[in-house]
Structure formats: C-alpha cells, structure tokens
Amino acid sequence: QGYRVAILGATGAVGTELLELLAERKFPLSELRLLASSRSAGQTLAFQGDNLTIQAVGHDSFAGIDLVLASAGGSISQNWLPVAVQAGAVCVDNSSAFRMAPDVPLVVPEVNPADLDHHQGIIANPNCTTILMTVALWPLHQVQPIQRIIAATYQSASGAGARAMAEVKAQAQAILNNKTPPTESFPYPLAFNLFLHNTPINAQGYCQEEMKMVNETRKIFHAPGLRISATCVRVPVLRAHSEALNLEFEQPFPVTQARELIAQAPGVKLVENWENNYFPMPIDATGQDDVLVGRIRQDISHPNGLELWLCGDQIRKGAALNAVQIAEALIERGLVKTP
C-alpha cells in the first residue's frame, strides 16, 4: 500500500528532481499526480516506465491526495496549498510563502524533525542556502551554541531555475564567440562574471536572500538571538552552492572536535585533503545527497572563532531531497493519514 502524492510544479528543475528522488528512494506510492500551470498541461513526464500526463492545477486537483510536494513559486503555493489542506492533504512547500508563518514548521530533517509534530497541514522547506548551512552547523551548535555567523555564499545558476542554467551556458558560448550574451534569466551576464544576489534590498542594505539565511536559521535552530550576517552572491556555477562560514562561540571550539563532529554528522561529508589542498568543490557536490564540508580551521582573528567551507547540490539537498526527506519523516512520525 502506498500514498497518493501530488507534485505541484512538476516541470521545474526541482519538480523533475522530486520525481527522480521518489523513484530512487522507492517512496511508497499508490498514485502520483503531476500538477502544473495550464501552460504545461498535457505534457507527459516519464516515471518508473510510465508516461504520466501533467494536469492543470485546479480546485479538484487534490481530491484523495495524501501528500503534496510543491515547488511552483510563492504565489502558486499561496493560492493552492490552502485548497489542498482543505481537501485533506499534507503539503511540503519549497517556496518562501509560508516559511516564517508561526503555525508552519520550517524543517531540515537532520536538525529539527520534532517541529513536524505541530504542523497544521503545511510544512515549509527552507531556502537552499539555509538548508546547506544548518545541516553543516547543527552538530557544532548542539555542543556549543553558536553566537554569531558571518556567511558569504557562492550561489549556482540553478537557484534561478532551469532556464537560468541554460542561459549561463549560452552566455559563455556567446562571449567566447565575441557575441552579446543573452540576459533573460539574469539581469547581467553571469558567465565569466559574478554579482550580488539580485533580490530586493531592505533599508539596512541586505537583500531578501540574505535575510532568509538570518530569519530561517533562527527559526530552525529555535535561536532567536543568534546573530547572523550574510552576503549572497550569484556565481557562474551550474547547480551547487558554496558557502564560506565564520562562526563565533562563547568559548574556543577545538578544531579537532569540530572536525570529528562534522565527520559523523548526518547529511554531511567531511572532505579535506590538506596535503593536496583539496576541499569541497561544486563539481563534487553536484548530484550528491550530502553537503560537503572542509577547510575547518581556527579563526586567527578571534580565539572563539572557527572558519569552514561547504558545497551542496542546490536542487537536491538544497530543495528536492530535503522536501522528500520531510515527507519520509512525516510518514515515520505518523503525521500523514495512512493509505
């Protein structure tokens, strides 16, 4: 017996990864319904040897559905997930629409699975940069609460969607052929360039992407006083984000202890070869479930500081895998009506 699952936003980069992961992880399915905008209705997607036809999302799309995995943007989630909850479904939403709502758990299964127990029908998947950072930092935070995080991110094109990934390749080709690079998905050429994340900027000069790391991490760690500052940058990489993190504790945190904790942490893989100067790279993190962490070192500017570097697949653990792991945890905790 399996669950009746709907994917809302099945044609996007995350939607297609959700499909792959449900098959790869042998998720218990009795039905899989693919929902998208009317623009995509009628298209088919292969799944476990079948061709599933995409349906336009509508008021009766969620009848009989147990679980919705949504990755179709904030406005689609805002419109349709309350309808899905009303129809009796539990929804895991990858958009930012509900992440900071007090009655919506914001969950990274390796960090705060117990928050799932309070769900009211919708569970929010954190932003990709937040997922990657919290998985890596949780093992340290549990031993000695982190007082302050300074984050610099190096975010792949995939965070702006499948078309953006294609565009950065087209830009590179154009530039190499001395032609003007296309800029439909990005405001500026990304190939051979980088730019500050172009989400709207607040009165303090921080963009929305940076404030997501601040606000979401505090909610996931249940640490409202945790001081965080982030600088988010878009870089010409295809689908894995990287982050340079500076951590401040109340007391010195021995590097060897930090290394051991991270090496044993779920969802994380320690990658450090000091002799060969080999540490996590986006090309190694791409397609991996684990967040790769390395170059853990004492902060030479502060006795209670640590520095570390990470790379993680933005589409996989940064979005689709975390959402499927939330769905698996919901089932494990008996939080979805049994089929």
- As annotated, the active-site residues are 128, 241
Is 99 part of any known ligand binding site? yes
CB within 8 Å of 284: residues ≥ 6 apart: 271, 292, 311
CA-nearest of 309, 236, 238 to 268 is 309
Q: Please identify, using beta-carbon distances, which residue of 92 and 160 lies nearer to ligand 2RA.
A: 160
**Residues belonging to the chain:** 339
What string marks each residue from 187 to 226 as x (binds ligand 2RA by CB under 6 A) or -? ----------------------x-----------------
Q: Please identify, using beta-carbon distances, which residue of 13 and 68 lies nearer to ligand 2RA.
A: 13
Q: Is 15 among the residues that bind ligand 2RA (CB under 6 A)?
A: no
- Of positions 9, 139, 159, 267, contacts ligand 2RA by CB under 6 A: 159
Q: Is 312 among the residues that bind ligand 2RA (CB under 6 A)?
A: no
* Beta carbons of 102 and 85 less than 8 angstroms apart: no
- Of positions 160, 165, 261, 329, contacts ligand 2RA by CB under 6 A: 160
Q: Is 151 among the residues that bind ligand 2RA (CB under 6 A)?
A: no
Q: Is 242 among the residues that bind ligand 2RA (CB under 6 A)?
A: no
Q: Is 128 among the residues that bind ligand 2RA (CB under 6 A)?
A: yes
Q: What is the largest CA-CA distance in the chain?
A: 60
Is 104 part of any known ligand binding site? no
Question: If binding means CB under 6 A, how many residues of this protein chain bind ligand 2RA?
Answer: 7
CB within 8 Å of 281: residues ≥ 6 apart: 292, 311
Q: Which stretch binds ligand 2RA (CB under 6 A): 31-39, 50-58, 137-145, 154-162?
A: 154-162
Is 314 part of any known ligand binding site? yes
Number of other CB atoms surrounding residue 195 within 10 Å: 13
Q: Is 162 among the residues that bind ligand 2RA (CB under 6 A)?
A: no
φ, ψ for residue 320 (rounded to 5)? -65, -45
Q: Is 315 among the residues that bind ligand 2RA (CB under 6 A)?
A: no
Is 13 part of any known ligand binding site? yes
Is 185 part of any known ligand binding site? no
DSSP 265: S
Q: Which stretch binds ligand 2RA (CB under 6 A): 23-31, 110-118, 127-135, 177-185?
A: 127-135
* Beta carbons of 198 and 220 less than 8 angstroms apart: no
Q: Is 155 among the residues that bind ligand 2RA (CB under 6 A)?
A: yes
Q: Which stretch binds ligand 2RA (CB under 6 A): 5-13, 97-105, 153-161, 305-313?
A: 153-161
Task: Find the shortest distance in angstroms from Cβ 199 to ligand 2RA.
Answer: 7
Give burial (CB, 10 Å; 0-12/13-18/19+) of 208: middle
Question: DSSP characters for 64-111?
Answer: T-SEEEE-S-HHHHHHHHHHHHHTT-EEEE-SSTTTT-TTS-B--TTT
Closest CB to ligand 2RA: residue number: 159
Is 40 part of any known ligand binding site? yes
Is 297 part of any known ligand binding site? no
Alpha-carbon distance of 32 to 7, in angstroms, equals 8
Listed in order, strand segments (DSSP E) in the chain are 3-8, 29-36, 44-47, 50-53, 55-56, 67-70, 90-93, 122-124, 148-155, 195-196, 227-234, 240-248, 268-270, 291-298, 305-313
Binding-site ranges for ligand 2RA (CB under 6 A): 127-129, 155, 159-160, 209
